[in-house]
Chains A and B, each alone.
Chain A
């Protein structure tokens, strides 16, 4: 019956069935102890009662096409408004004939972002120069003038407006933030205390109050007779707001550098600006890139607040749909849709920030 093997020739036995495979995995991860088992069972129960019902409502019982709320099933989600208003969600009220300019700006934005993020891009130097002039180029493309039909900024809206505010905020807050961070570290008391005062003031008040300032009283402080449009005032405020937060992130990077770097620069005879430009800032900025990306995510999410002062960004278009009589009672669907839009973009950026953090962590830590 039993088979005999010469010593050393016995084939390996398979491992015991309870140390591999799904059974083992369940044991270790879900049912390792009695409290663990109880927690798992409660979690499984909660998932079973909530997830299928949610999926049913979201997808299987949902209505995807229709003219108005009446075409939608009552016990499912109503996504018909999205296809109906998709153009509005993307472009706002931007004139139909001029929408190629928005598309072109988006493509160029892709090029500029690639140049900033992709470190081995061929011809990256030119790409970076292009990225630096991009905000002005896009401003010209979108608002018109100098050969293009002028478009009123009141017609900006949807995803396009969200991106315009976000990109302007990040592009202009970075240089201002660097200056403020250096100012806060400065030996010169007046510059130092001015920077501290500015940063702490902006960080101490909610963005919404600054936006109210932009919409109600900023025009008082401008030269008499001049008339800025609302979007420009909002952009100024968002930029100032973001630069205070940016300054704190960059200050973190500056403080993380060992003092020897500045001393070495001094001993080489570099003056302040040379030392900053060649030695300190390149290192400090590299350290703070994850923080900068996180600030950008925060700023990008905060752009949704402009709806409170009446600009129609993605959320604003959504809210307009909620108050439309044809689509009454759809607030859950509308806000979920906008939430998914923000989630996809923000989650993508957060992943990138995480990737950078891991990449930067490979070297020695300070």
Chain B
């Protein structure tokens, strides 16, 4: 009897299917047991403190001020509005940072490959210094330098009487939009739609007949020059509200706060160093034979770059570029160190301390970052698929 049972057991263990079921059931039991244990602990601990889990605090007044808010917000607004304001600030810094870091990164990558010894070495020294120092120190350093060296409002750096840079930030004109301006925006959107259609059409024509249009120039003209012409034809339908010095501070216009500038520059400088290395390795990865083959076919240097080298380099560049964008977005959470009010500083910082709802606040913050990560990686995956090598 016992013999057959042990046989059965050993048979079950040596059968791959059954064994995998046994192992997974055990793993599931361990995982569930662990989570059950810590959740049980949490329930007991919170009951002992008289706390519950509830998100109703989100609709109570936040009663703190946020110095940079792009939507209506004052201290009587709710914690929920504070979260939204923080989220908008996070997205703003992430988008601005991604744009600047990409531009700087491509410049650095090209500088690293330049045959000019000086630019190559400058890029190398810059990249090595920036990559090997934590981003938090860059943020604090840039912020510290700005706060210590920028002058008071009275001695502001004056850029053509429209922009003023001082230790309160960059005072700049505020656009007061007139109704006619929406026509300009409409033209701009139409130009983008046209550009997309034209790029596809030109590619189709080229694939079929070999005729080549100057797509880049025509599209740039449509997107940039045409809206400007319309803007001036309509009689410049934006009233720029210029800041002016009154007493000890500036009135009118809008101000880009020093925390935003410091965080933006530091994050962009830091990420640009990584992007520079990615761009360099991407360009190096396209073998020289490709360029030579293109030249042998009589394709000009400029079009060799745009039709042969860059499309292949992008395939190498885009996946690591995605993770740099994700890193930049996550690193923007360090804003809290210099007092830029992003989502961690609002809901995860002041709201958390005021209401004492650690669980709920941290859940919200994490959910927001996971969503942002998901959005960025799906957009980049979509882009990566669109430039992928199509194999027949």
State the A residues within 8 Å of B (CB). 29-30, 32, 36, 39-40, 43-44, 47, 187-191, 194, 201, 203-209, 212-213, 216-217, 219-224, 297, 301-302, 304-305, 307-308, 315, 319, 322, 329, 331-332, 335-336, 338-339, 342-343, 346-347, 350
Within 8 A of A (CB), among B295-342: 330-331, 333-334, 336-337
Selected from B23, B128, B144, the residue in CB contact (under 8 A) with A331 is B144
- Whether B118 contacts A205 by the Cβ 8 Å rule is no
Q: Would you call B373 an interface residue if the criterion is a C-beta within 8 Å of the partner chain's C-beta atoms?
A: yes
- Chain B nearest CB, measured from A195 CB (Å): 10
CB nearest to A349 among chain B residues = B132
* Distance between Cα atoms of A304 and B136 in the complex (Å): 7
- Once A40-B116, A44-B118, A331-B140 are accepted as A-B contacts, the answer to whether A350 and B333 lie under 8 Å apart by CB is no
Please, which residue of chain B has its CB at the minimum distance from the CB of A333? B144
A340 to chain B, nearest CB (A): 8
Q: Which 3 A-B pairs have the closest CB atoms?
A: A331-B144, A29-B117, A346-B132
Cα distance A305–B333 in the bound complex, in angstroms: 11
Q: How many A-B residue pairs have CB under 8 A?
A: 162
* Segment at the interface with A among B186-194, B247-255, B364-372, B384-392: B364-372
B residues near A, CB below 8 A?
A: 20, 23-24, 27-28, 31, 38-39, 41-42, 44-46, 48, 114-119, 122, 128-129, 131-138, 140-141, 144-145, 147-148, 330-331, 333-334, 336-337, 344, 348, 352, 358-359, 362, 365-366, 369-370, 373-374
User: Could you list 28 examples of A-B contacts with CB < 8 Å?
Assistant: A32-B116, A39-B114, A39-B119, A43-B122, A187-B20, A205-B370, A206-B333, A206-B334, A208-B334, A212-B365, A217-B362, A220-B42, A222-B45, A224-B41, A224-B44, A301-B133, A301-B135, A305-B134, A308-B136, A308-B337, A315-B140, A331-B141, A331-B145, A331-B148, A335-B144, A338-B137, A339-B137, A350-B131
Complex Cα distance, B141 from A188, in Å, reads 49
In the complex, residue of chain A having the shortest beta-carbon distance to the beta carbon of B369: A205
- Nearest CB in chain B: distance from A259 CB, A: 18
A216 & B352 in contact (Cβ 8 Å cutoff): yes
B331 — which chain A residues lie within 8 A by C-beta?
Answer: 206
User: Contacts A188-B24, A307-B136, A343-B132 hold; do A224 and B119 have CB atoms under 8 A apart?
Assistant: no
Q: How far is the CA of A350 from the CA of B330 in the complex (A)?
A: 23
Given contacts A220-B41, A305-B136, A335-B140, contact A343 B24 (CB under 8 A): no
Contacts of B117 in A (CB 8 A): 29-30
Besides A47-B118, A206-B330, 5 more A-B contacts (Cβ < 8 Å) are A43-B122, A212-B344, A331-B144, A335-B137, A339-B138
Given known contacts A190-B24, A209-B362, A343-B132, A332 and B336 CB-to-CB distance under 8 angstroms:
no
A302 touches B148 (CB 8 A): no
**Chain A positions within 8 Å of B137 at CB level:** 304, 315, 335, 338-339, 342
* Bound-complex Cα distance A206 to B145 (A): 26
Q: Which residue of the partner chain, among B27, B140, B358, contacts A191 with CB atoms under 8 Å?
A: B27
Determine the chain A residues whose CB is within 8 A of the CB of B348 once the complex forms: 209, 212
Give chain B residues whose Cβ lies under 8 Å from the Cβ of A332. Answer: 141, 144-145, 148
Residues of A within 8 A of B352 (CB): 212, 216
Q: Are B132 and A204 in contact (CB under 8 A)?
A: no
